[in-house]
Structure 1
């Protein structure tokens, strides 16, 4: 990677992002009334489209500057910590980055969440159906009852004698009604709705835990099929793994949490580095303002960016269609902000209730204060909700208010305000006071909407893109919000089903339906019941097309045609598994096999990298399997199999160059390499980067060894491999040693590779093929050890990956979710939560960018990489008539390209690998000619 190139790019983007303002008249003749409030000024500053915020486009500054490459390219390392960059600069251009050569790299609450009951990750139980409180989009558009005032009326409702709902954390004491908060929450499952309302001294999640316990008896297993979330044993790690309590990354704002923490999930910006990086819930992004922006706020900023503010990279003339290299959403636009007058420079941000699909961001005026705003962050949440305790609410905007209307109450106890910002976007604000009294919010300036002092209650904010019809739909769900979520799933025959269930809290929670946003891959797989709950409201997500608002507490998705019969043999969509090869193909394979069988697996796996070591073990296991089963000559591979088991024992005994350690801070098994100070050692494994890649290769190799020699499946060997599964893809939510599903995101439908590195653009993933490899590896390991749940989970993950990769990463010409001027790249390159960049962390060669989405070529490759996609990609980029013909590529990537060609043209792929005088330099160190021949022949 050329750092100079990136520096010039960053300077250009900084110039584009420099603030430009112009004035626009505001109708100043309108009175400043309770009904229609204009800012008390005759002008409003409007930021020109695309000029507010900044665009972090330097990959070297993303905190994940390492990526595997078969060709041994150098990678970039920082001389300064990205977290220390100037937050006011577009990308902290003060930092110094060099390209260095590293040749040695080449060859407390989690336990109570989802206790048996809700989503039943721990117990394997899940709801089979969920009522929607008789709420439908049509019902939402009905005329309000006569008891509801019209917008022309300005009505203050007195507090009811008894309050049925409130939503904030209690403050001083239980005896003070002004400081005591009652949380109403519900869990809906198996056609029943269980509601609990309790006073609590913690956030409303403690009530949810009570509800989950109550609901346990009413939850029934999914009808038929194999539950995919039956936990592995949750005991300690093997004794060969030592424990360390000194991870190099400190926990900020979560110091008291002692349970496993999700390191690779969407909300890690709350506790990493500056704590001001965006949490992308989709469609909204939230970030601690920390005194920045036009409003100078210390609250939680909310952003939703339309396409007009997206910055596009340069076009690439070497790719047909001249697609742009990247697109990136601006960072730090503060459309709306949940704040309070008490929040100043002493404000503290903490993160609580860190769960697989949610976390609570808590803002307090100072450490130890009982005053707080608790903001539940749940993937897909329809409203941004702040639960206030004894504070003076301050709703702010750095984009500036131009108009505010005090609107009719959608229900008793909920006050509503309609906001227009200077960028002409429309937002709705709902205030639900604990005492039931009119909060009488007043617009006091272009940036400040102020509420009453000492206020407790809930404020919800949502963007309304759909005019009056959208407003009625939002009114119908106002007052309730998601607190947590859980996933359940099963596989029956070749069909997989999975559900996302949301626990909700709020005003009249049992009677009010929840509204959440679904991504395109959800919508495409919804069952009929869930599909009927979709609304007409859509909002753009940052990198995954439009999100659609859906009503209901549970979504159910169906994935048909799972590869349940796929094994270790080559597989195709048309023919299935090729468990036998022709005699002619066998002869060629057995003739060339000794060349690779006689290589030293001990030397190739005895490395200072878990990644490269795992690739070597997986490669040799595949060679042995090919010769033994597909070539029909077990004796020829017998010595190599024994050598493979001996090499594998080094890792099970934990005697590799950098032994694994159990990190007791974040809770996981990591390489000890970075404890010496180099955060980039082994691609950041110690920092939880890429665990599904690294450990997936070991799991795959073990699955093959165990099938070829069942006697190898001793308790010690199985426990060590299961430890890797638990670390990267745990099926249990109550495991005290590992978090649930560290890598795979069951909301997004794919994994995130970035671990404990602060990043303006959020999590990312570069290698979809290695993501697929992990799912395939646990499928086959489950098959090998007779764990039907693990095998089914791998099959379901593969089905979900096929759909999500088709929608977001592997772009066919009719792709609807990526920008039209980007699709010709065919693959996304690196997909972040906030941007997509057609590049890699290790170089810009086209074969690198496309190839990292191909390797390793396994039976699962043809399942997720459709023939139509492979054909489009090959013809556009690597055919003899293309700008980068595969025939002219050098090094290990050449073999990757031709092996991938076997998906659509096995004859040509076979001819390449079977040619006389074959050049072995075209084989990646993690692949083999033997397997590629079998793959093409199958």
Structure 2
């Protein structure tokens, strides 16, 4: 979770084949799927295309109309054209919201709007004990228009990976500036005859190509306009200027040629099959010519064969960014199939009885579900896991009680009229911010912080219950689908942004709604983001929404890969980590990576927030047993008996994480768990689920 207060493997065998959601062979495990587990889609689901609209206006308009309409908290002032949906939870949100525009990090460049135009530059990357820094550097400053007046600036378009900012004066547009994720270019196209001036003088090195050396980096400028004194550029209507920074090993001629084809927009395609989830970003240029794009480390191993990435390398806080030539960047990551149940088929009769007894004890201790969206969602998740364990170990009395309690509680939350008079356990639609907000709010959810963390627990619990109660889907679908639309709309909608939190280029989500920070947006609990897409895929499956299930599985697989690449399993040999003394970065920003959390300085919290809530899909965290061991060594106190080491914040989740080292480690963790103090069991966990997880990883699957 994000504690951002003021602004905050036993895998079920469901996988999408290309873009078809269907039951498939086991992914990343040798274990068969429990028959009662919710899957991502029934075998008869229709074909799902990555180009299909998910929750278009026509599907959600009546659902929105049936909800109470209320703005719980106004978003900050926005530099945003009329008619555009507020872009919360984006890598560029800080550029849009607030009295002062914040720096953003499209990569490889950093960028910020200024009173007179904008500034950009290559971040200066460094590391010390707890932080990897690559903050904003305004090495090239640009003024748009006459020097006696500052232009008005607002975002007039944005899409999957690009942002267009219009500059105007006295109501007349001067031109438009475009930046894009992965693009080393900043372009400005004049709407009228306009003067552009720069704080740094450029020297002509070829016809129409100028360069400047600043702080050890070479910057280039390409334009058909007239440049005077190296700083003053005159553009006629329709003419463009494109700036860029040369990477190490990059050729000026190559970059200058690409710069004459400015990026004007982007689009994304995705597909999944049993082995891989593929993301393809298309960079549309003004004339269809090739551009250059910087590939992130998590993309490199899975790049498409026809992608040429030999055009130099930039330094970044994530590691080296390799520059690729073309208009398409396409890569694949391993598919993570969604799951709502541990595979307990390999347990002994004694273990089953032990779990049945513990489930009953945990059910008896279960309090009323919490009233806010975060802790309420976690309490649903806890009960849903208890329910699924009870189903598998034959604790039928507990199944009945848990099903009844969960059903009644979800019925209350999923009542479209719940917030007409109620102030908690219900949802409203915010017509200004264009999204669904739950009451009571928590951790800034009224500002659209952390919606994926919160709502993922609802999706998961609803799918687990509905796996044995299909009629519940119909009752819950009106509100549950609006929760899903809040996060997973695609193809355009009048009521929600496309994929509110998910960044297709980075492969992960952003947690802050308006991002009022100098280091860009951020995300802390990468594991809760993975849990969110797992829950969404399960809901898509149990409700028969194949397009949604495919999209969710793609986001699940992408987020899992990026979470390992930048939060838990990054390559410590990469030079970017020289001086950094930890094995995880628990808080990842656009402009830095921190060994820190919003809520605790405890070392166990740094790792714990990256592994909780250890849902059945969390086996992705165990790809490298040696790294699991190293991460635990960094998180846990030394000395004393092993069991005492886990008497720390998130000790239950760290025990579960330890089990991913192998069956011997899982057995040892099971012994330690028996003596773990009750206060170390998180409110989203239970001792029964903790023991079930450890037994599952300590026992060979049946068959």
Category of TM-score, reference length = shorter chain: 0.7 to 0.9
CA distance in 2, matches of 1:720, 1:419: 55
Kept in 2, the 8 Å contact 1:247–1:665? The answer is no
Kept in 2, the 8 Å contact 1:385–1:459? The answer is yes
Kept in 1, the 8 Å contact 2:117–2:150? The answer is no
SS at match of 2:234: coil
Select which of 270, 292, 309 maps to 1:489.
270
TM-score relative to the length of structure 2:
0.86
Provide the residue aligned with 2:49 in structure 1: 227
Distance apart, 1:821 and its partner CA: 2.1
Kept in 1, the 8 Å contact 2:636–2:646? The answer is no
Provide the residue aligned with 2:482 in structure 1: 723
Provide the residue aligned with 1:51 in structure 2: none
Distance apart, 1:888 and its partner CA: 4.2
SS at match of 1:713: helix
Provide the residue aligned with 2:432 in structure 1: 665
Kept in 1, the 8 Å contact 2:248–2:314? The answer is no
Does structure 1 residue 514 correspond to structure 2 residue 291?
yes
Kept in 1, the 8 Å contact 2:104–2:519? The answer is no
Q: Which runs of 5+ in 1 are unaligned?
A: 1-65, 69-74, 83-104, 106-123, 126-223, 291-297, 314-323, 410-414, 434-438, 444-448, 571-576, 674-680
Mark the structure with the bigger radius of gyration. Answer: 1
Provide the residue aligned with 2:385 in structure 1: 622
Distance apart, 1:358 and its partner CA: 1.8
Provide the residue aligned with 2:232 in structure 1: 450
Select which of 280, 285, 292 maps to 2:110.
285
Provide the residue aligned with 2:516 in structure 1: 758
Select which of 361, 378, 396 maps to 1:595.
361
> What are the residue-to-residue correspondences of 1:190-339 with 2, within 5 Å?
227-228=49-50, 230=52, 231-232=54-55, 234-236=59-61, 237=63, 241-244=67-70, 247-254=73-80, 256-257=82-83, 259-290=84-115, 298-307=116-125, 310=126, 312-313=127-128, 324-331=129-136, 333-339=137-143
SS at match of 1:671: strand
> What are the residue-to-residue correspondences of 1:725-740 with 2, within 5 Å?
725-730=484-489, 732-740=490-498
The structure-2 alpha-carbon separation of the partners of 1:702 and 1:528, relative to structure 1 and needing over 3 Å to count, comes to same
The structure-2 alpha-carbon separation of the partners of 1:853 and 1:585, relative to structure 1 and needing over 3 Å to count, comes to same
Select which of 339, 349, 352 maps to 1:583.
349
CA distance in 2, matches of 1:248, 1:761: 23
Distance apart, 1:582 and its partner CA: 2.0
CA distance in 2, matches of 1:814, 1:330: 21
Distance apart, 1:777 and its partner CA: 0.9
The farther-off stretch of 242-251 and 661-670 is 242-251
Provide the residue aligned with 2:612 in structure 1: 855
Provide the residue aligned with 2:401 in structure 1: 639
The structure-2 alpha-carbon separation of the partners of 1:264 and 1:877, relative to structure 1 and needing over 3 Å to count, comes to closer
Distance apart, 1:818 and its partner CA: 4.4
Q: Which runs of 5+ in 2 are unaligned?
A: 9-18, 21-45, 697-703
CA distance in 2, matches of 1:595, 1:388: 70
CA distance in 1, matches of 2:211, 2:532: 47
CA distance in 1, matches of 2:402, 2:617: 25
Deviations 1:323-374 (A, max 9, x none): x11133344x32112323515554211111132322211222x34123x131
CA distance in 2, matches of 1:861, 1:274: 41
Select which of 331, 347, 367 maps to 1:557.
331
Select which of 283, 289, 292 maps to 1:502.
283
Deviations 1:74-124 (A, max 9, x none): x976xxxx9xxxxxxxxxxxxxxxxxxxxxx9xxxxxxxxxxxxxxxxxx8
SS at match of 1:809: helix
CA distance in 1, matches of 2:332, 2:5: 42
CA distance in 2, matches of 1:861, 1:599: 26
Higher RCO (CA < 8 A, seq sep 6+)? 2
Provide the residue aligned with 2:181 in structure 1: 379
SS at match of 2:247: coil
CA distance in 1, matches of 2:194, 2:273: 54
Provide the residue aligned with 1:407 in structure 2: 205
The structure-2 alpha-carbon separation of the partners of 1:375 and 1:865, relative to structure 1 and needing over 3 Å to count, comes to farther
CA distance in 2, matches of 1:453, 1:722: 49
Kept in 1, the 8 Å contact 2:184–2:245? The answer is no
Kept in 1, the 8 Å contact 2:647–2:677? The answer is no
Does structure 1 residue 874 correspond to structure 2 residue 632?
yes
Does structure 1 residue 923 correspond to structure 2 residue 688?
no
Deviations 1:4-29 (A, max 9, x none): xxxxxxxxxxxxxxxxxxxxxxxxxx
CA distance in 2, matches of 1:245, 1:683: 17
The structure-2 alpha-carbon separation of the partners of 1:455 and 1:739, relative to structure 1 and needing over 3 Å to count, comes to closer
CA distance in 2, matches of 1:805, 1:335: 31
Provide the residue aligned with 2:468 in structure 1: 708
Kept in 2, the 8 Å contact 1:246–1:665? The answer is no
The structure-2 alpha-carbon separation of the partners of 1:722 and 1:518, relative to structure 1 and needing over 3 Å to count, comes to same
The structure-2 alpha-carbon separation of the partners of 1:737 and 1:343, relative to structure 1 and needing over 3 Å to count, comes to farther
CA distance in 1, matches of 2:499, 2:271: 16
CA distance in 2, matches of 1:710, 1:876: 45
Kept in 1, the 8 Å contact 2:637–2:645? The answer is no
TM-score relative to the length of structure 1:
0.65
Select which of 586, 600, 608 maps to 1:829.
586
Provide the residue aligned with 2:28 in structure 1: none
SS at match of 2:486: helix
CA distance in 1, matches of 2:442, 2:376: 11
> What are the residue-to-residue correspondences of 1:678-693 with 2, within 5 Å?
682-693=442-453
The structure-2 alpha-carbon separation of the partners of 1:704 and 1:274, relative to structure 1 and needing over 3 Å to count, comes to same
Distance apart, 1:782 and its partner CA: 2.2
CA distance in 1, matches of 2:427, 2:410: 14
> What are the residue-to-residue correspondences of 1:37-436 with 2, within 5 Å?
67-68=2-3, 227-228=49-50, 230=52, 231-232=54-55, 234-236=59-61, 237=63, 241-244=67-70, 247-254=73-80, 256-257=82-83, 259-290=84-115, 298-307=116-125, 310=126, 312-313=127-128, 324-331=129-136, 333-364=137-168, 366-370=169-173, 372-397=174-199, 400-401=200-201, 404-409=202-207, 415-421=208-214, 423-433=215-225
The structure-2 alpha-carbon separation of the partners of 1:346 and 1:477, relative to structure 1 and needing over 3 Å to count, comes to closer
Distance apart, 1:831 and its partner CA: 0.7
RMSD between aligned residues: 2.8
Kept in 1, the 8 Å contact 2:572–2:583? The answer is no
Deviations 1:54-88 (A, max 9, x none): xxxxxxxxxxxx945xxxxxx976xxxx9xxxxxx
SS at match of 1:227: coil
